[in-house]
Amino acid sequence: MFDYLIVGAGFAGSVLAERLASDGKKILIIDTRSHIAGNAYDHYNEAGILVHKYGPHIFHTNSRDVFEYLSNFTEWRSYEHRVLASVDGQLVPIPINLDTVNKLYGLKLTSFQVEEFFASVAEPKDYIRTSEDVVVSKVGRELYEKFFRNYTRKQWGIDPAELDKSVTARVPTRTNRDDRYFTDSYQAMPLHGYTRMFESMLSHPNIKIMLNTDYREIINVIPYGEMIYTGPVDQFFDYRYGKLPYRSLEFKHETINTPLYQPVAVVNYPNDHLYTRVTEFKYLTGQEHNKTSIVYEYPRAEGDPYYPVPRPENAEIYKQYKALADATKDVHFVGRLATYKYYNMDQVVAQALTIYNKLATRSKSNYEENGHALAVTAT
Ligand code: FAD
Ligand code: UDP
């Protein structure tokens, strides 16, 4: 008898498996895929190069708790991410910074002057609501069109004016020369890769792993106490309120017979091609190899669900599913798909640790009240 059936072996499921197992709970963690680590899964390809199967995963966080927690399972390699955008025939830094403007327009502005430049082209808004508002109100329409409009339409299949402000607000605007994609206090990659880190998290005698299996195949066969569900929330409830839109991607991996392909880890293509960006993995991993592996990301409406789509009508649908989820007492919904949140890895880890603390506190108070641990019943 398992205390918990955990559906999904990504960050959400694996963190909870590890925490609960360390408290003595018996865990069955299950995934439809043939591997652990969810979307963070990495592996050595046929050329022997470490690649991320589901696109580039760069770890960054401001949370000391999250970083210290994951440090129990991996050593780290310091890595600060840099991205260039291919615009008007040049490769320029994104997030837009002082160098971006100077290079694009052949200018020699100072930080102070570029601030004045942004102020002169920005379109002030009383209320920032959409992903268009965020950018246009900071850097004006021309830069918005060069860097954001078409990339966003390609990535999401809708115009930035129809997407919540939180989407493009992920990418800041700078007036200095800082060309890092992130400014978090912790920026590092697991030294031996994500999958190795997950293997370490899940290597506990109380954790059994079952791969290539949908939880619906086993829930009536294998007894368990409670469920932790990290798959798409609408699917769990058989799409009772309709489908929640998730955006998908197709990844085209390639290995090239040259040591280096592009000048930085990621090049974004806002205006050209059907793909959004090209990632060269050796920058992320620091691996040395005489060949190099890259991945192209082609946005898709259908396919594996990768991104919740933040916009008001979807938030309304999710609200209905959340009410159902809250009323389903023996199932805990955690992670990017189950809570329909555009979360980075560290946010999912933080969310999972919070849920764990709630479960552990509940279990402790039950113990104190009843003199025995919470009884778990088979469903
Ligand atoms: P997932 O990793 O999706 O895990 C859920 C698991 O549940 C999956 O393995 C799935 O197979 C399984 N599952 C679903 N349904 C069932 C079922 N019925 N039965 C059994 N198993 C099931 N974050 C960052 O911090 N930095 C980045 O650079 C970054 N880059 C990203 C790039 C891309 C292209 C994508 C798509 C995401 C990126 N992320 C990044 C986000 C990151 O992938 C997520 O935050 C994180 O992986 C979410 O973890 P999770 O456990 O919630 O979900
Ligand atoms: N974005 C853009 N142009 C860029 C980079 C980002 O328009 O060059 C927008 C786009 O809508 C994208 C969002 O900003 O989906 C968030 O970008 P991020 O790089 O954080 O996306 P992720 O890595 O999550 O796919």
* Predicted local distance difference test score (pLDDT) of residue 369: 64
With b meaning 16 or more CB within 10 Å and e meaning fewer, what string describes 141-169? eebbebbbbbbbbbbbeeebebbbbebbe
Tell me the average pLDDT of the chain.
96
- Between 279 and 370, the higher pLDDT residue: 279
Check whether 370 has a pLDDT greater than 70: no
**Which residues' Cβ are closer than 6 Å to ligand 2?**
85, 94, 147-148, 151-152, 155, 167-168, 170-171, 268, 270
Report the pLDDT averaged over residues 287-301.
98
Report the pLDDT averaged over residues 162-184.
98
Ligand 1 lined by 7 (C-beta under 6 Å): yes
Report the pLDDT averaged over residues 171-178.
98
Check whether 373 has a pLDDT greater than 80: no
Distance 10 CA to ligand 1 centre (A): 6
* Predicted local distance difference test score (pLDDT) of residue 11: 99
Report the pLDDT averaged over residues 273-278.
98
Distance 63 CA to ligand 2 centre (A): 22
* 160 CA closest ligand 2 atom index: 11
Check whether 379 has a pLDDT greater than 60: no
- Band the pLDDT of 368: cuts 50, 70, 90: low
Report the pLDDT averaged over residues 225-229.
98
Strands 292-300 and 246-256, by their bridges, are antiparallel
Q: Which domains does the chain have, with CATH numbers?
A: 1-36+202-245+309-379 (3.40.50.720), 94-170 (no CATH)
Considering only CA atoms, which residue is closest to atom 30 of ligand 1? 57
Check whether 296 has a pLDDT greater than 60: yes
Report the pLDDT averaged over residues 227-256.
98
SS (H, E, C) the chain: CEEEEEECCCHHHHHHHHHHHHCCCCEEEECCCCCCCHHHCEEECCCCCEEECCCCCCCEECCHHHHHHHCCCCCEEECCCEEEEEECCEEEEECCCHHHHHHHHCCCCCHHHHHHHHHHHCCCCCCCCEHHHHHHHHHHHHHHHHHHHHHHHHHHCCCHHHCEHHHHCCCCCCCCCCCECCCCCEEEEECCCHHHHHHHHHCCCCEEEECCCCHHHCCCCCCEEEEEECCCHHHHCCCCCCCCCEEEEEEEEEEECCCCCCCCCEEECCCCCCCCEEEEHHHHHCCCCCCEEEEEEEEECCCCCCEECCCHHHHHHHHHHHHHHHHCCCEEECCCCCCCCCCCHHHHHHHHHHHHHHHHHHHHHHHHHHCCCCCCCCC
Ligand 1 lined by 182 (C-beta under 6 Å): no
Report the pLDDT averaged over residues 210-226.
97
- Between 357 and 369, the higher pLDDT residue: 357
* 54 CA closest ligand 1 atom index: 34
Check whether 89 has a pLDDT greater than 70: yes
Check whether 377 has a pLDDT greater than 70: no
User: For a pocket test of ligand 1, which of 28, 345, 354 has the largest count of ligand atoms closer than 8 A to its C-beta?
Assistant: 345
* Predicted local distance difference test score (pLDDT) of residue 362: 85
* Predicted local distance difference test score (pLDDT) of residue 363: 78
Per cent of the chain over pLDDT 90 is: 95
pLDDT digits (tens, 9 = 90+) for 23-42: 999 999 999 999 999 999 99
Check whether 139 has a pLDDT greater than 60: yes
Check whether 201 has a pLDDT greater than 70: yes
Check whether 184 has a pLDDT greater than 90: yes
Report the pLDDT averaged over residues 211-227.
97
Return the structure tokens found at 3.
Answer: 């205390």
* 81 CA closest ligand 1 atom index: 28
Query: Which ligand lies nearest to the CA atom of residue 219 in the structure?
Result: 1
Ligand 1 lined by 215 (C-beta under 6 Å): yes
User: For a pocket test of ligand 2, which of 155, 156, 167, 279 has the largest count of ligand atoms closer than 8 A to its C-beta?
Assistant: 155
Ligand 1 lined by 249 (C-beta under 6 Å): yes
